Amino acid sequence: SIREPPTNPPPRPPAEHRRKRP
Amino acid sequence: GPIILQTYRLIAEYKKSSKHELSMKAGDLVEVVEKSTSGWWFCQTESHRGWLPATYLEPLEGPDESEDQEPNYEGELYQTTKPYKAEQEDEISLEQDVTIEVIHKLLDGWWVVRKGEQTGYYPSMLLQKTGEKR
């Protein structure tokens, strides 16, 4: 069903939007 | 009354990688219908419905930090349901069935976890609370 989320992990943010290391 | 959906903007171009996702261009606007803890959000435009990664979305009405949970440095015990190999230097690689501490649950589906001395991002969809059935 379209309402089931994808089964693969979502991508990390695009490089220029990435957070700093936790 | 009518359901008011939040509008988000694509911060970069996104190309779908599976059937029920959407492909969008930077700057496109979508309404978010459902926020899955996996970090995939169900979105709609005038002509399409499908999933987009929260990491590519920013709220139209300025930052929405109220929705972000605070870190919990004591940690909450979870275990991995699947292995994951880090692809970025700030991620952590773990095997299946490893118990770790979750210290920050982020809405984009990448949680900060701690295993001994190591800390890094891990996909929330590959974690379950310890003691809970899959």
Q: What is the ipTM of this complex?
A: 0.86
Specify the pLDDT at position B69.
78
Statement: residue A19 has pLDDT above 80: no
Q: Which residues of B touch A12 (CB under 8 A)?
A: 55, 87-88, 91, 110, 121
Specify the pLDDT at position B131.
81
Most B CBs within 10 Å, among A12, A16, A17, to test the B interface: A12
| Predicted confidence (pLDDT) per residue in B97-131, tens digit | 999 999 999 999 999 999 999 999 999 999 999 98
CB contact under 8 A, A10 and B123: yes
Specify the pLDDT at position B64.
62
CA distance B82 to B122: 11
Own/partner pairs, B39-44, CB within 8 angstroms, 24+ separation: B39/A9, B39/A10, B39/B107, B39/B108, B39/B109, B39/B110, B39/B123, B39/B124, B39/B125, B40/A5, B40/A6, B40/A10, B40/B109, B41/B8, B42/A3, B42/A5, B43/B8, B44/B5
CB contact under 8 A, A10 and B119: no
CA distance B11 to B25: 8
Specify the pLDDT at position A15.
81
Q: How close, in Å, is residue A17 to chain B by CA atoms?
A: 8
